[in-house]
A = this chain, B = another copy of it.
């Protein structure tokens, strides 16, 4: 048995029969996640939020194991027996997928993807499938074909068990449960918490229109479901969309754009340059190794180096990020007022002799606490507004939480709960204009 201590779950233990989990943890690719912070620039607003994707991934595997173990006690409705047996039959696959679901994350994922248009989810499955990676080798060593199956679960395309897919990626999944609890503890934000023991206790599985769905007990689960939705709402409001964090993320994106424009590079790290140039993509699986060189340390070192770059913009952005001279965010309503504000600020930028495209930024993002955009049937998680939505993909199936009665009949949560109903169609939405606060303090203001 291998056990880890954890500030969130206290004890995370994998038994000897889960030996492959330990082997996966010991791979180079999984160890890389130690060097990637879960919340990117989030610690700029919440100094305690310094946790890595490594510890989050351990937590998701642990939650998956606990949910699967608890499923033995799930009450039986009409169809549940089969689903219960099914999720237990795929136990090892489910735990492996839970552990590896974030393995393709790069440093400051959102910012990097904003520049490269290359989604981290594609890297995740590329890494799992690439015969060159240790992760792939451990999976295949465990059982031939295992890597492909794990990749399909991550992609939400695993047809043998839709239920297992849902346990990892749905409105009530083990990924979200861990990150909400962990982000709430580490930020110290004080709002976002819920009773995970009760949540697991009242979890159920059922079928909705022929599709398996993870849900909760109708009679015992409604309040905890509300608590969970409210937790998500507050985490978006106070943490994920925090003004300073968003500003810092936008600044990283602008910095990387500038680096690409200038061809600025970090000696010895061809992967970063290739990625910025667009010559490194998931199709080029032979180049996965270059992608895997990237982590927060490498990116921060590039920022260090660029803080001495001759280009005024690159240097200024690098220095601002290192020293937390973050742009100010002003909440505005979208529309003419915003346009006028931006015009005035762009004028000021020109007076300062700096390019307005870099120094005056329109920042907009939105999420629903209930139908949140981390999930869509086509499988892509983007943190803010999923491309999937834009592409009109039907997301209804995964976007609801169901309560099941003792006979397995589903009741959609927002139909039962006036609180969730109130939250349901309300976006946590931001409309901001970002610009350097120091402009307000210096003598050049007109």
State the A residues within 8 Å of B (CB): 1, 3-8, 10-11, 13, 15, 26-28, 31-32, 34-35, 43, 46-48, 50-52, 54-55, 58, 73, 75, 185-191, 195, 197-198, 201, 223-224, 226-227, 230, 234, 237-238, 266-269, 293, 295-298, 300-301, 304-305, 308, 322-324, 418-419, 421-423, 426
Contacts and interface: CB of A to CB of B under 8 A. Distances in A.
A190 B195 contact: yes
Contacts of A5: 46, 48, 187-190
Contact of A191 (B227, B295, B421): B227
A56 to B, nearest CB: 10
Contacts of A8: 48, 188
A197 B62 CA distance: 15
Copies of this protein in the assembly total 4
Contacts of A35: 300
A444 to B, nearest CB: 21
Contacts of A28: 322-323
A190 to B, nearest CB: 4
B268 A305 contact: yes
Contact of A304 (B237, B298, B323, B324): B298
Nearest to A297: B300
A230 B419 CA distance: 10
Given A13-B201, A52-B50, A73-B1, A267 B269 contact: no
A7 B191 CA distance: 13
